[in-house]
Copies of this chain bind each other. A is one copy, B any other.
Amino acid sequence: MVNLSIIGATGYVGLELVRILCVHPNIRLQKLVSQSYVGKKFSDIYPSLRSRCDIECTELNINELAKSSEIVITALPPEASKDIIPALLQLGVKVIDHSALFRYKDPKVFEKVYKSEHNLPALQAKSVYGIPELYREQIKDATLIADPGCYPTCSVLGLAPAINSELIDLSSIIINAVSGVSGAGRKEELAYGFCEIESNYKAYGIANHRHTSEIEQELSLLAGTDINVSFTPHLAPFKRGMLATIHTNLTDAAIASGVSTEKVLEIYKEYYKDKQFVRIMPLGTTPEVKYVAGSNFIDIGVIVDLRVKRLIIVSAIDNLLKGSAGQAVQALNIMMGIDEGTGISVPGMQL
């Protein structure tokens, strides 16, 4: 049994972590840290957890955490991560962090995008970007994981095989994505009120969403050259799920070589052949949110449209699972020598 604690346990990502880990056969939940709910039972805040996680929330005490836990998952804003994570690592505790703090190879990018100092370059150097399908080996030995953003996970895994096989013009990538509302977290903001969102649909953060830089970093690493993308997120009236519709121009070489939907599907299947959480959709079908919601899968479908010389990629995840807490547990399993799918292998709810 691995002893594990969570800091920032009462946000939506924290809730999702607790929901998974309270029935994970190899994990023993120790401390649930939540400054706003100290002394309150987790199941009083989230009654769905009654009789599954009745642990009382505690305040932050780094030494207590280090004593009780081999690993800590943090679901905090970057500012808070900055203080807490170095102290935990120093005491020999492994950390999986949900903030953007340790996601960038170059701390200067973090500083620019998040308008916040990053004075931890040494830790950054040790941090692993936690997409197991791309960085499994590094995750195994990591002491610090930066759990990736939801949009980057969905976009990067959708594009990786096409970039790897040099099918597409790297300057032509246009990512239209849509997220469920839980992606915004547990916020008391009018903008996320039911009456503001139900029956509504909108784009937001056009041309300036912070995840753009994270997507570009990972695609550039895959391509071995700098890539800029257009990334346009949208908000739709559902709670969990994410879908990216990605348009790319096929290269002349790809067209000359007789590229087709069938061939691209083969490339994708080959690329992800040992990855248990990636499902390539059969010819003629594309992902839907309801196929992945409630699961840790990413579904990917592709269509070659020779009329306009484009490859269209559609990828879908549950933003709270493969896009956040589920991916964190996947990394946790790998780090701790537990079978990768443990606790996150259930199929989606569909209904």
Q: List chain A positions with a Cβ less than 8 A from chain B.
A: 12, 15-16, 19, 22-23, 44, 46-53, 174, 176, 178, 180-182, 186-190, 192-204, 206-207, 228-230, 232, 234, 236-241, 243, 245, 247, 276, 279, 281-282, 285-295, 297, 299, 303, 305, 307-308, 310, 312, 314, 320, 345-351
Q: For residue A44, which residues in chain B have a CB less than 8 angstroms away from its CB?
A: 282
Select A347's contact among B48, B206, B297, B320, beta carbons within 8 Å.
Answer: B48
Residue ID in chain B nearest A314 by CB atoms:
B203
Q: How far is the CA of A201 from the CA of B49 in the complex (A)?
A: 18
Q: Which residues of B contact A12 (CB under 8 A)?
A: 195, 351
Asked if B186 contacts A195 (CB within 8 A), the reply is yes
B234 & A245 in contact (Cβ 8 Å cutoff): yes
Assembly CA distance A305 to B191 (angstroms): 25
Number of copies: 4
Contacts of A192 in B (CB 8 A): 193-195
Residue of B nearest to A199 (CB): B238
The answer to whether A236 touches B201 (Cβ under 8 A) is yes
Known: A193-B187, A237-B237, A239-B194. A290 touches B48 (CB 8 A): yes
Output the nearest chain B residue to A174 by Cβ-Cβ distance: B247
A interface, over-half SS: loop
Q: List 9 A-B contacts (CB under 8 A).
A: A23-B347, A49-B350, A50-B291, A176-B176, A182-B195, A186-B195, A194-B194, A198-B199, A232-B245
Residue of B nearest to A22 (CB): B347
Which B residues touch A237, using CB under 8 A?
A: 194, 198, 236-238
Q: How far is the CB of A173 from chain B (nearest CB, A)?
A: 9
Contact A201 B241 (CB under 8 A): yes
Residues of B contacting A288 in the complex (Cβ-Cβ under 8 angstroms): 47, 200-202
Cβ–Cβ < 8 Å partners of A206 in chain B? 286, 303, 305, 312, 314
Q: Quick one: which of A22, A196, A240, A276 has the most chain B CB within 10 A?
A: A196
Closest to A186 in B: B190
Alpha-carbon distance A190/B178, docked complex (angstroms): 23
In the assembled complex, the Cα of A292 lies from the Cα of B49 at a distance in Å of: 9
CB-CB under 8 A from A174, the residues of chain B are 174, 247, 310
